[in-house]
Structure 1
Amino acid sequence: MELKKIMMSLLFYLISAFGISMTIKAGIGVSSFNSLNVSLSNLTEIPIGTVTSLINLLFLVACFVVDNEKKLVKYILMLLATLSFGLVINVVYYSLFKSLVMTNYLSKLLLFIAGVCIAGFGTGQVVRLATITFPIEFFCQLVAERTHLSFSQLRYGVDISCVVLSLSISLVFTLPIVIREGTIMSLLLLSGVINWSKNKGIL
């Protein structure tokens, strides 16, 4: 692996985390996967970024179990990226945005859309560079190669499971419901931004 591609992949990985932090801060709902992270954070009072890293680490372990090749360098890079991803979310959400208070819905909406675009841009570049893989996507890819299920079916299955678990946690423990209009907007907007970004040669 080229060192430059590795460093750029890590940078875009963290840019994606920054964008996700913005969508969470907007407070109008989050993406399917992040809805579970936010709900678990509300339940356990563990920082959102830490929960995000822990869930991704579970998928990373699952990948290692399923993977027949088990390239050590690849897993070390994914581990580093996963831990850094959660750290950036914590720093941005709890420190950088700590004093940011938005009472106007339009400002929340604009922050959310900007966050989705930034996260999608970063994710698209990570996909384009094909050096570091997101654990969930890699897990779905590995399982798809070994079953009759397609990657998209498995990925949608993960998203649906996250939404169901998030709603269940919120309803059972009387916590804020984070499945809102932002979840729908993320579903409609994020894939398009990722597809646009991955076809753009940045740096």
Structure 2
Amino acid sequence: MFPQYKKILNSAFAFLLLALGISLQIKAGIGQSIFNAFSMLLSNLIHIGIGTMINFLNLLFFIIYVFIKSSPLRLQDFIQIIATMVNGYVINLFTYTIFNHITIQYYYLRVFIFLLGLLLASITLGAILAMGMIRFPLENLCILLSEKLKCSLTRVRMCFDFFFFISTLTVTIINNQTFYIREGTIISFFLLSKLMGMSYEYCKKILKECN
């Protein structure tokens, strides 16, 4: 059997690596995933940390999830919001403290750091989902909506991505802000889901062998 406490410790460690991966992508400065690009735009507009903005959005998704869900909340629902809040603050720590004074001058290094961050974030995200101890508020909301609306999870997630894209584009044009959807966003679009899926299947296989 794979002990429960090991899942908790491994999930916590994976969360730290996930925050590191997201922070490396931000530091690279060549674009983000659509959700992170939307978060960065709002964080610069309101003048708060990117991790804090991600926390606000996750809290919003959690509140919507609570209102839509008909069954009582479980302990795991509260664990997920606490874990994601901590994750946001760790992103701030990496982005604004640990990596704050590091300057990346060469473009090829920016691409390398972005890919490293994307690989790290994708693998750890897949591992977190495979262990099943913690779900992200957005992912949990998408699963709930797919069940309520009787449609695929992929379609629901794509609707959210489309909303983030249109919102980012609209707010950028209206407020004359920096456009955060760049080449990194395109790379993330093609690689993130695939790498996360491979990591998820591999970790599920490992966990199954341990049980």
TM-score range, shorter chain: over 0.9
Residue in 1 aligned with 2:36? 34
TM-score by length of 1: 0.95
Residue in 2 aligned with 1:5? 7
Query: Structure 2 regions of 5+ residues with no counterpart?
Result: none
- Of 51-60 and 66-75, more deviation after overlay is shown by 66-75
The answer to whether 1:58 aligns with 2:60 is: yes
State how far apart, in whole Å, the 2-side matches of 1:178 and 1:98 are: 19
For the aligned residues, what is the CA RMSD?
Answer: 1.5
State how far apart, in whole Å, the 1-side matches of 2:104 and 2:167 are: 28
State how far apart, in whole Å, the 2-side matches of 1:15 and 1:57 are: 21
The one of 91, 106, 122 aligned to 2:124: 122
The residue type equivalent to 1:160 in the other structure is: F
Residue in 2 aligned with 1:80? 82
State how far apart, in whole Å, the 2-side matches of 1:129 and 1:68 are: 25
Residue in 2 aligned with 1:138? 140
**Maintained 8 Å contact 1:14/1:84:** no
**Maintained 8 Å contact 2:58/2:81:** no
State how far apart, in whole Å, the 2-side matches of 1:25 and 1:172 are: 26
The one of 13, 22, 25 aligned to 2:24: 22
The one of 146, 151, 157 aligned to 1:149: 151
- The structure 1 segments of at least 4 consecutive aligned residues displaced by more than 6 Å after TM superposition are none
**Aligned-pair distance for 1:62?**
1.2
Residue in 2 aligned with 1:161? 163
State how far apart, in whole Å, the 2-side matches of 1:12 and 1:57 are: 21
**Maintained 8 Å contact 1:18/1:92:** yes
**Aligned-pair distance for 1:171?**
1.4
Residue deviations 1:70-128, cap 9 Å, x none?
33311221121111110111000001110111121100000000000000011000111
| DSSP-derived class of the 2:80 partner | helix
**Maintained 8 Å contact 1:14/1:122:** no
Query: Structure 1 regions of 5+ residues with no counterpart?
Result: none
TM-score by length of 2: 0.91
**Aligned-pair distance for 1:40?**
0.1
The residue type equivalent to 1:109 in the other structure is: V
Residue in 2 aligned with 1:198? 200
| DSSP-derived class of the 1:37 partner | helix
State how far apart, in whole Å, the 1-side matches of 2:152 and 2:139 are: 12
Residue in 2 aligned with 1:181? 183
**Aligned-pair distance for 1:190?**
0.8
Residue in 1 aligned with 2:92? 90
State how far apart, in whole Å, the 2-side matches of 1:184 and 1:67 are: 33
The residue type equivalent to 1:110 in the other structure is: F
The residue type equivalent to 1:87 in the other structure is: Y
Residue in 2 aligned with 1:102? 104
- Of 65-74 and 164-173, more deviation after overlay is shown by 65-74
State how far apart, in whole Å, the 2-side matches of 1:7 and 1:43 are: 36
Aligned length, in residue pairs? 203
State how far apart, in whole Å, the 2-side matches of 1:162 and 1:17 are: 20
